[in-house]
Amino acid sequence: MRLITLPTDTRISFMRWRTPAIVVSLALCVLSLVLFALPQVGMNYGIDFRGGTMVELRFDEPRDIGDVRAEIGDLGLGDVQIVEFGEPTDVLIRVEEQPGGEEAQQLAVIQLRDLYGEAAEFRRVEVVGPRVSGELARAGTIGVVVALLAIMIYIWLRFEWHFAVGAVLTTLHDVILTIGLFAATQIEFNLSSIAAVLTIVGYSLNDTVVVYDRVRENLRRYKRLPMSELIDLSVNQMLSRTLMTSVTTLLALGALFVFGGEVIRSFTFAMIWGIVVGTYSSIFIAAPLLITLNLRPGRTPGDTPDTPDKEPGEPQPATV
C-alpha cells in the first residue's frame, strides 16, 4: 500500500502575502506584550512562580469537586484551585502562599491531612517558597534569552548575519505570541510552560533553518532569479517536509492534551500552539525577513564567479 503524502511540486506564491503577514504578526506581538504588561490581565503564574503549595490526592471513591471546594474553603486558606485530572478519584489542589513563612505553608498541608487523612492518599506534596519562586522566574527568563543568543551566534557562523538575525527575530516572534496566548487564555504558566517555550524555540529554529538552508542552496544555483521568486521556490520545495513534520507532531501532542491529564496540560497546550505558529512563521516571517534584510543572490559564502546559472525547472537537490 502506497503512503499518501503531501504534494512536492507546489508552486504557491507565498511572498505575495508577506506584507499582510508581517503586519498581522506585528499587531499580534504588540497585543501580546500589552496583555502581558497589563496588571488587569497579565500572566496566571502557577505556584512555581508565585509560591504556595500543591497537593495531589487520590480518594477512595470519586468525589464531587464542588463538595471538595466547599470543604477546603472552610479552612480559610485563601485562593485555592481544585481540578480533576487522571482518574475520576484524582484531585489536584493548589493553595496560594500563606502569610507567615515556611511554617505557615506546612500548616496548610497539615490542615489538609487532618481533613482527608483517612479518606484520601496524599500522592504528592510540593511547597514552593517566595525566594525559590523568584529564582525559578529569573532562571527561566535567563534560559530563554541565552537560547536566543546562542542561536544567533551559531547561525551567524554557519550561514550569514542575514540568516542569523532572521532566525532570532522569527523565534522571538513565536515566543512572544506564545506568552500572549498564556496571558489571553489565563492558562496557568509554570515550570512546564517554560520547558514548552524552550522546546518551541528549538522546533521553530529547526523549521527555520531547514528553509534557510534551501534558500542558501538556491542562491548559489539561480543567481539571476528575483529574490521573491527564489524564496517562493525554496519554501515550496520544503513545504511537504514542513507540513508533514508539523502534522505528525500535532497528532502526538493532541493525544497528550486529551489524555495526558491536568499536570501536563499547560505544556501540551503551549506546544500545540507553538507548532502551529512555528510552521506559519517559518514560511511567512522567516523567509520574507531575508528580503527585508536585503539579502541578494551571489553574496553567500562558497559562490564563485563562474558558477553556471540554472533554471528552476531543472532537477532540484535532494531534500534532507
Taken in order of first residue, the domains within the chain and their CATH numbers are: 14-41+133-292 (1.20.1640.10), 52-128 (3.30.70.3400)
The per-residue pLDDT for 299 is 46
In angstroms, how far is the first alpha carbon of the chain from the final one? 24
The per-residue pLDDT for 2 is 52
Q: CB neighbours (10 Å) of residue 279?
A: 22
pTM > 0.85: no
Give the cell for residue 22.
508581517
Sheet holding 52-59, edge to edge: 80-84, 90-96, 52-59, 120-128
CA-based nearest residue to 128, from 48, 244, 246, 242: 48
CA distances from 198 to 62, 201, 203, 274 (A): 37, 5, 9, 10
Give the residue ranges of DSSP H helices in the chain: 18-37, 47-50, 65-73, 102-116, 130-158, 161-185, 191-221, 227-259, 265-284, 286-292
Cβ 112 vs Cβ 68: under 8 Å:
no
Say if residue 18 is exposed, middle or buried (CB neighbours under 10 Å; 0-12, 13-18, 19+): buried
Cβ 242 vs Cβ 283: under 8 Å:
yes
Cβ 240 vs Cβ 5: under 8 Å:
yes
Residues 84 and 91: their CA atoms lie apart, in Å, by 5
Rounding to the nearest 10 degrees, give the CA dihedral for residues 170, 175, 178, 179: -140
Give the cell for residue 123.
500522592
Give the cell for residue 245.
513534520
The per-residue pLDDT for 306 is 40
CA-based nearest residue to 223, from 288, 138, 310: 310
The per-residue pLDDT for 315 is 41
Per-residue pLDDT of the chain (320 residues; tens, 9 = 90+): 454 555 567 788 888 888 899 999 999 999 999 998 887 777 887 776 777 788 888 888 888 888 888 888 888 877 777 877 767 788 888 887 777 666 777 788 888 888 887 778 888 887 776 565 567 667 777 877 887 788 778 777 877 788 888 888 898 899 899 999 988 888 888 778 888 888 888 888 888 888 888 888 888 888 888 888 888 898 888 888 888 888 888 999 889 888 876 667 778 888 899 899 988 998 889 888 888 887 664 444 444 444 445 545 544 443 33
CA distances from 74 to 77, 119, 132, 221 (A): 8, 18, 29, 73
Residues 102 and 122: their CA atoms lie apart, in Å, by 20
DSSP reduced 3-state for 120: strand
Cβ 98 vs Cβ 54: under 8 Å:
no
